[in-house]
A and B are shown apart, each in its own frame.
Chain A
Amino acid sequence: MAAAAPSITAPVQGGRSKSELIAFAIMVAFFVIAPNFIYPIFLMKALCFALFACAFNLLIGYVGLLSFGHALYFGWASYVSAYAAKSWGLPPELAILAGAATAGGLGIIAGALAIRRQGIYFAMITLALAQMMYFFAVQAPFTGGEDGIQAVPRGKLFGLINLADQTNMYFFVLSVFLLGFLLIYRIINSPFGEVLKAIRENEARAISLGYKTERYKLVAFVLSATLAGLAGATKAIVFQLASLTDVHWTMSGEVVLMTLLGGLGTIFGPVLGAFSIIAMQNYFAGFGQWVTVIQGVIFVFCVLLFRRGIIGEIANALKIRL
Chain B
Amino acid sequence: MKTTSLMAFAAAMLLSTAAHAQISDGVIKIGVMNDMSGTYADLAGPGSVLAARMAVEDFGAAAKGLKVEILGADHQNKPDIGSNVVRTWIDVDKVDVIVDVPTSSVALAVNEIVREKNKVFLISGAAASNLTGDKCSPNTVHWTYDTWALANGTGNAIVKTGGDSWFFLTADYAFGHALERDTEAVVLKNGGKVVGKVRHPFPGTDFSSFLLQAQTSKAKIIGLANAGADTTNAIKQASEFGIVAGGQNLAGLLVFLTDVHSLGLKTAQGLIFTEAWYWDMNDTNRAFAAKFSAANKGVHPSMVHAGVYSAVTHYLKAVADLKSDADGKAVVAKMKATPTDDKLMGKGEIRADGRKIHPMYLFEVKKPEESKKPWDYYKLRATIPADQAFRPLAEGKCPLVTN
Residues of chain A at the chain B interface (Cβ within 8 Å): 39, 41-42, 45, 138-139, 144-148, 150-151, 239-241, 243, 245-246, 281-283, 285-286, 288-290
Q: Does B185 contact A (CB under 8 A)?
A: no
**Taking A144-B174, A147-B105, A147-B174 as contacts, is the C-beta distance between A286 and B1 under 8 angstroms?**
yes
Chain A positions within 8 Å of B73 at CB level: 285-286
Is B83 engaged at the interface, CB distance under 8 Å to the other chain?
yes
Can you show 19 pairs from A to B with CB atoms below 8 A apart?
A138-B173, A139-B172, A139-B173, A146-B104, A146-B173, A147-B108, A150-B79, A239-B80, A239-B83, A240-B112, A241-B109, A243-B79, A243-B80, A243-B109, A245-B79, A286-B2, A288-B74, A289-B74, A289-B76
A41 to B135, CA, bound (A): 24
Q: Which of B84-92, B310-318, B322-330 touches A?
A: B84-92
* Contact of A288 with B36 at beta-carbon distance under 8 Å, contacts A146-B105, A245-B79 already known: yes
Q: With the chains together, A151 CA to B88 CA distance in Å?
A: 17
| A39→B91 contact, CB < 8 A | yes
The B124-183 residues at the A interface (CB cut-off 8 A) are 128, 135, 172-175
Residue of A nearest to B71 (CB): A286
Least CB distance from A16 to B in Å reads 36
Chain B residue, CB-CB nearest to A154: B116
B-side contacts of A290, CB under 8 Å: 37
Q: What B residues does A239 contact at CB under 8 A?
A: 80, 83-84
Report which B residues bind A (CB closer than 8 A). 1-2, 36-38, 73-74, 76, 78-81, 83-85, 87-88, 91-92, 104-105, 108-109, 111-112, 128, 135, 172-175, 202
Among B84, B173, B202, max chain A CB count under 10 A is at B84
Q: Are A45 and B38 in contact (CB under 8 A)?
A: no
Cβ-defined contact, A146 with B84, below 8 A: no
B85 near A150: Cβ-Cβ < 8 Å: no
Q: From residue B200, how far is it (CB to closest CB) to chain A in Å?
A: 13
Cα distance A288–B34 in the bound complex, in angstroms: 10
Assess whether A146 is in contact with B81, with CB atoms less than 8 Å apart. Answer: no
Closest beta carbon of chain B to A231's beta carbon, Å:
14
Report the separation of the CA atoms of residues A230 and B246 in the bound assembly, to the nearest whole angstrom.
57
Residues of B within 8 A of A281 (CB): 81
Contact: A246 with B104, CB < 8 Å? no
Q: Knowing that A245-B79, A290-B37 are A-B contacts, what are 8 other residue pairs whose CB atoms are under 8 Å apart, sorted by A's residue number? A: A146-B105, A146-B174, A239-B83, A241-B80, A241-B109, A286-B73, A286-B74, A288-B74
Least CB distance, A60 to chain B, in whole angstroms: 25
Return chain B residues, CB-CB under 8 Å to A144: 174
**Contact across chains for A245 and B74 when beta carbons are under 8 A apart:** no
Q: How far is the CA of A288 from the CA of B91 in the complex (A)?
A: 21
Which B residues lie within 8 Å of A289 (CB)? 37-38, 74, 76
Q: Which residues of B contact A42 (CB under 8 A)?
A: 88
In the complex, A243→B88 CA distance in Å? 19
B80 touches A246 (CB 8 A): yes
Q: Inside 8 A of B111's CB, which chain A residues have their CB? A: 150
5 residue pairs, one from A and one from B, having the closest CB atoms = A145-B174, A288-B74, A151-B112, A288-B37, A147-B105
Contacts of B91 in A (CB 8 A): 39, 41
Residues of B with C-beta under 8 A to A246: 80
> Given A138-B202, A146-B174, A147-B108, do A288 and B87 touch, yes or no (CB 8 Å)?
no
Across the interface, A241 reaches (CB within 8 A) one of B83, B92, B174, namely B83
Residue pair A41, B173 in contact (C-beta under 8 Å): no
Which A residues lie within 8 Å of B109 (CB)?
148, 150, 241, 243
Is there contact, CB below 8 Å, between B84 and A45? Answer: yes
Contact flag A285-B74 (CB < 8 Å), given A145-B175, A243-B105, A245-B80? yes
The reply to whether B87 and A41 form a contact with Cβ atoms under 8 Å apart is yes
B74 and A147 form a contact (CB under 8 A): no
| Residue with the highest number of chain B CB atoms closer than 10 Å, among A138, A150, A281 | A150
Complex interface: chain A residues within 8 A of B92 (CB): 39
Give chain B residues whose Cβ lies under 8 Å from the Cβ of A139: 172-173
Contact across chains for A245 and B78 when beta carbons are under 8 A apart: yes
Q: How far is the CA of A288 from the CA of B81 in the complex (A)?
A: 10
Contact call A145/B88, Cβ cutoff below 8 A: no
Complex alpha-carbon distance, A139 and B199, angstroms: 12
Contact check, A41 vs B88: say whether CB atoms are below 8 A apart.
yes
**B128: A residues at CB distance < 8 A:** 147
Q: A288 vs B83: C-alpha distance in the bound complex, in angstroms?
A: 15
Interface centre among B1, B81, B111, by most chain A C-beta atoms within 10 angstroms, is B81
Q: Which residues of chain B come closer than 8 Å to A240, judged between CB atoms?
A: 83, 112
Q: Give chain A nearest CB distance to B231 CB in angstroms.
A: 15
Q: How far apart are B139's CB and chain A's nearest CB, in angstroms?
A: 13
In whole angstroms, what is the CA distance A146 to B1 when docked?
A: 30
Nearest-CB distance from B336 to chain A (Å)?
Answer: 22
> Smallest distance from the beta carbon of B349 to chain A beta carbons, Å?
28
Tell me the minimal C-beta distance from A232 to chain B in angstroms. Answer: 12
Looking at the complex, which one of B2, B88, B105 makes contact with A148 (CB distance below 8 Å)? B105
